[in-house]
Structure 1
Amino acid sequence: MQKNQDGLRPSSADIQNSASVEYFAASHANYSGMVTLAMGLSMAVILLGIVVLLTGFLGEEYRRLLSGLLAVRELTAGGFIVGALALYLNCMNSAVRRPLLRRIAVGLAVLLLVGGLASLAHGVMYALGWLPLEGADTISPLAIPPLLSLGFVLMATALLLHDWRLLGGYYPAEYLAFALIALSAIPLVGYLYDVSQFIYLDFPLPVSLLSALVFALLGAALLMARPAHALMAVIMRIAPGGQMLRHLLPQTLFLLLAFSLLLNWGMTHGWIVPELVLPTLTLINGAIVLFIFWGSASRLDSEYGERTRNAQKLAETSALLNAVSESTSDPIFVKNRQGLMIFANPATLHKLGKTWEEAMYRSSRELFLVQEEADTVDRDDRRVMASGKPEKLEQTLHLPEGVVTFQTAKVPWFGKDGSVQGVIGISTDITERKQAEDELRQRESQLEKTVIQRTALLRELTNHLETVREEEKRAIARELHDNMGASLTALSMHLEGVYQILPPDEKWADRKTRMQGLMKSLVATTRRIQTELRPNTLDLFGLKAAISEQLDELHERTGIACHASLPDEDVDVGHEMEIAIYRMLQEMLNNVTKHAKASKVDVILDIDEDHVALTVRDDGVGIPEERRDNHKTYGLRGLRERATFFGGEVDIRSTPGKGAFISISLPIRPELAPSEA
């Protein structure tokens, strides 16, 4: 194979050579048909021989009808059956490759050779006068004309040497088959021109017309059985020589035979003088040969010109494709159905680190460094060829320059008949892009970790601030209880002493009543503020009592009907979570008081092994959608922040005019258990 100056890829001559290979390979598509035809001819000869043998058992009236078949002797019919059967088995063996069939065929050929030699010796003994020779009726049934015996010997030898080849690439069996056809042509010409010497050949028995035809068919079948052998391949190819032979041979033989018969007929009827037959035949045959070959030469010139133009177009197209494939930095390659590399542009060879001689007709395992990657490439190629559809693949391969990632577009390569011949691929090196993507993903991962860490710190800070705020509330509540409460109690006691010394005047009685009411209101307000800052009930009696107290206070203050559904057992979720649940309930009830315009509120507290859930449901006007999704709404945002801190979630549902449903679910974490708080 030629190569261009860089020695890396096939030149346009290589492409034309590959096209020639495909061109000649297309001519082999008819080989199987020729073998099938040879098997059909063999089977026809076998059936003919069987019919000849069966005619011996028929009555006289049927024997007269089959007189043509009776001209073939039983021994000749048996030889036809044995030879045709051996040829049939040889044809089958070429398709299925079974040693048993070949051995049976060889055995039959040997039997035919022995029989042919025996009958030939028998005929020679008649010819030499060693056996009595008075007429056809006195000849033994085992005797057949020597020409037929020689035909059996030639056929048996051809069968034994059917697949044997000489050093020069020639097959002797083909020449023996041509000899068999030429031998059968002698009696055929005798019957055609009524020449008895060609029919009897100095033997009492004639060579029957049917026997001569059968030998001609067997010779042709011997050639058809191996259409890829040297001589038959010339006829079978689509090349100009094969086309000329297929066109010229039948025409030439037909015209020569037709004019020969015409001259013979004219000489028989006295229209042509015998002395003029040979010159006339020479002139006519010369004119026929000149006319046929001149026309064939003209046709070949026309085909040659057309092929030259096509070759020029192909060369221009190939040069353009070569320029494109050589100038691109993307690897371009073509593989056949066996997965072997049959084309690779310089970029492909550069990536593989090989020359064209090192890469051509190599499998993936021979081209790539890692066997698993080569198997993956082959698997992708087979899938594309099987589906007949293009695919885009991403492949990471270990190459001499390092690990490279390709984005490869693979498409099936269709032949002229529409069958898949292989796969075509164009790859793009995306290693840098993949590295950038990997770095981006790594940075995103680091950013996510940083965000998680910062979120954890913010949660801890929020928890700390919440703890500080609760402690401040507790301190303020304690101050209100200890100082303000004691002061109010002392003031109330002093006022009681003052009330006793006031004159019994109606004006002072009214002031006494207002002072007592103001004192009660001040005490109630102080207790309410103290409870809101730090409910003593929560610290003393737990979450359930604190929720009940809060609902009672809401009912007394607003008149809203409040209903609580609380678990029977004590709620023990840790001090921090109790405070968070209490504060979230405060916020939800505060929203109901300010915005819901509700007449009834249901509070449900549910707890299991893993979660605690607080649900508040009212029959008010509902929460507008824009307010539910508004993160600037401090009340709802505070609920979400508190729930998120404990790893929980808030579910808010509302239908305008049909109330609102707010559910908070918090996981009970071990680190928040009371024993560890």
Structure 2
Amino acid sequence: MTFLQLISNEGHSIPYILYFGTLGMFTLAIALVVFIVFYQRRIIQYQMKMQRMEEEQQKLLLAASIQSQEEERQRIAADLHDDAGPLLATARLYLNENLVHQEVTTQLQAIFSAKQIIDEAIQLIRNISHSLMPSTLKNFGLESAINDVFQKINGSGSINASCRFHDYRRRLSTEKELLLFRIIQELINNTLKHSHASFIHLIQGRNNDQFFIRIHHDGYGITQDTYEKYKIIPEGLGLKNIHSRVKILKANITFEKDPSQTYFKISIELPLETPG
């Protein structure tokens, strides 16, 4: 074959190469576009699914918060109706309109009895107020309020309870202290009711820009998987209340069993407030 014939044959094959090469590139471009569109649709669907799950969780948390508040209102209403109401009604009986027609001795005795009943009603209302916002927490802060709780638990003699605050020179805001106190209160109550622990210990500290609380006990406890499961179901009202308060605090809570398998640990961490 001469040189001219070789060039001629190759010249005929060049258009075919260009044709198939262009077709391959075009097919690859279409496949890439289809893949990108499909992948983006999958991402959008996943994001929408996550958004729906987040909205559903928010609804459950809101329902739990409303239910908790409603139960608290019903408890307060019951205390006022069943205890304070009868006390005040009895005091009114002593101070009826016929009292002015009684002898002085009878009047003094009636006034004294009414005063005792009114004092009892005042103390009852103070107790109700204390359950809403403990005076120790309001006046002296989280450390004093938690120490007071642990002293009462330890004084019962049924469990060894101890509490240690290592670094609480600057208090959290009143709202955060109350939320954190309610979380700790719920955790302690659950431990006392369900764990059958022989000891419970709480420590507080600061780690760089984090405020933390650690609760240790040697009874039956839950792990993070259990918490994540029960915090979103209707039966787990206590855990949902904890979760809703943790979320308001923008904090993290973890439940774990120590590697030694001898005790459970609950950790609460929240960012420190920047001084104004």
TM-score range, shorter chain: 0.5 to 0.7
Structural mapping, 1:32-43, within 5 Å: none
Match of 1:584 among 183, 186, 190: 183
C-alpha deviation, 1:590, in angstroms: 0.7
Tell me the secondary structure at the aligned position of residue 662 of structure 1. strand
Q: CA deviation at 1:625?
A: 8.3
Q: Structure 1, unaligned stretches of length 5 or more?
A: 12-325, 327-343, 352-396, 398-403, 407-427, 502-515
**What residue in structure 1 maps to residue 51 of structure 2?**
451
* Alpha carbons of structure 1 residues 628 and 569: separation in structure 2 relative to 1, 3 Å: closer
Q: Does 1:573 align with 2:172?
A: yes
The aligned residue for residue 192 of structure 1 is none
Asked if residue 535 in structure 1 is aligned to residue 138 in structure 2, the reply is no
Flag the 1:531–1:8 CA change in 2: closer, same or farther, 3 A: farther
Q: Does the residue aligned with 2:204 lie in a helix, a strand or coil?
A: strand
Q: Which amino acid aligns with 1:611?
A: Q
After superposition, the Cα gap between the structure-2 partners of 1:537 and 1:669, relative to the gap in structure 1 and judged at 3 Å, is same
CA–CA distance in 1 between the matches of 2:157 and 2:123?
A: 16
1:581–1:614: 8 Å Cα contact kept in structure 2?
no
> In the alignment, is the contact (CA less than 8 A) between 1:623 and 1:659 conserved in 2?
no
Q: Which whole-Å CA distance do the structure 1 matches of 2:151 and 2:123 have between them?
A: 15
Cα pair distance change 1:525/1:347, threshold 3 Å = farther
1:643 and 2:246 are equivalent in the alignment = yes
- 2:33 corresponds in structure 1 to 432
SS at match of 1:9: helix
* C-alpha distance 347-551 of structure 1, shift in aligned 2 (>3 A): same
SS in 2 for 1:430: helix
Aligned pairs for 1:532-611 within 5 A: 532-556=131-155, 559-567=158-166, 569-607=168-206, 610-611=209-210
Report how far residue 497 of structure 1 moved.
Answer: 4.1
**2:224 is equivalent to residue 620 of structure 1:** no
TM-score (norm 1): 0.28
**Structure 1 residues 602 and 640, CA gap change in structure 2 (3 angstroms):** same
Give the Cα separation in 2 of the matches to 1:547 and 1:610.
22
Q: Which residue of structure 2 aligns with residue 348 of structure 1?
A: 21
1:577-605 CA distance string (max 9 Å, x none): 21211011111111111111123211112
- What is aligned with 2:255? 652
The one-letter code of the counterpart of 2:37 is A
Alpha-carbon offset, residue 663 of structure 1: 0.7
Change (3 A) 1:630 1:445: closer
Equivalent pair of 2:168/2:205 in contact (CA under 8 Å): no
Query: Over residues 386-440 of structure 1, what are the superposed CA-to-partner deviations in whole Å (9 max), with x where a residue is unaligned?
Result: xxxxxxxxxxx8xxxxxx683xxxxxxxxxxxxxxxxxxxxx8513323413532
User: TM-score, normalized by length of structure 2?
Assistant: 0.61
The answer to whether the 8 Å contact 1:620/1:657 transfers is no
Question: Are residues 558 and 458 of structure 1, via their aligned partners in 2, closer, same or farther at CA, if it must alter by over 3 Å?
Answer: farther
1:458-482 per-residue CA deviation (whole Å, 9 max, x = no partner) reads 49x95xx67x949x76xx59x96xx
- Structure-1 residue corresponding to 2:13: 9
Separation of aligned partners in 2, 1:405 and 1:548:
73
1:609 deviation in Å?
5.8
Quick one: higher RCO (CA 8 Å, sep 6+), 1 or 2?
2
Q: Shift of the alpha carbon at 1:543?
A: 1.2
Cα displacement (A) at 1:560 = 2.3
The Cα RMSD (Å) is 5.0
Over 3 Å counting, the alpha-carbon distance change for 1:445 and 1:618 in structure 2 is closer
**1:484–1:567 Cα change, 3 Å:** farther
Indicate how the Cα distance of structure 1 residues 609 and 572 shifts in structure 2: closer, same or farther if over 3 A, else same: farther
Matches within 5 A, 1:78-227: none
Cα 1:599/1:10, change in 2 over 3 Å:
closer
Greater C-alpha Rg: 1
Does the 8 Å contact 1:621/1:657 carry over to 2?
no
Is the partner of 1:573 in helix, strand or coil? coil
Q: Secondary structure at the match of 2:256?
A: strand
Q: 1:99-133 CA deviation, whole Å, 9 max, x = no partner? A: xxxxxxxxxxxxxxxxxxxxxxxxxxxxxxxxxxx
- Looking at structure 2, the residues matched to 666 and 566 of structure 1 have their Cα atoms a distance apart, in angstroms, of 16
Change (3 A) 1:558 1:581: farther
Q: Tell me what 2:100 maps to.
A: none
Instruction: State the Cα deviation string for residues 65-94 of structure 1 (Å, max 9, x = none).
Output: xxxxxxxxxxxxxxxxxxxxxxxxxxxxxx
Taking a change above 3 Å as real, the CA distance of residues 570 and 644 of structure 1, as seen in their structure-2 partners, is: same
Q: Give the secondary structure class of the aligned counterpart of 1:559.
A: coil
Q: Matched residues in 2 for 1:350 and 1:564: separation?
A: 76
Paired residues of 1:650 and 1:662 also in contact (CA < 8 A):
yes
Matched to 1:667, the amino acid is: P
**What's the CA shift string for 1:22-60, capped at 9, x where partnerless?**
xxxxxxxxxxxxxxxxxxxxxxxxxxxxxxxxxxxxxxx
Per-residue deviation at 1:606? 1.7
* Aligned equivalents of 1:661, 1:349: Cα separation in 2: 65
Residue identity over aligned pairs, in percent, reads 22
Contact 1:607 1:613 in 2 (8 A): yes
Q: How far 1:451 moved relative to its partner? A: 2.6
C-alpha deviations, 1:606-665, integer Å up to 9, x for none? 235622111111122444787456424623444334323433221212269833211111
How far off its partner does 1:523 sit? Answer: 8.6
Structure 1 CA distance for aligned equivalents of residues 217 and 197 of structure 2: 6
User: Is the contact between residue 650 and residue 665 of structure 1 (CA under 8 Å) also seen in structure 2?
Assistant: yes
Tell me if structure 1 keeps the 8 A contact 2:200–2:217.
Answer: yes
Letter in 2 for 1:551: F
- Which residue number corresponds to residue 270 of structure 2? 666
Q: Secondary structure at the match of 2:197?
A: coil
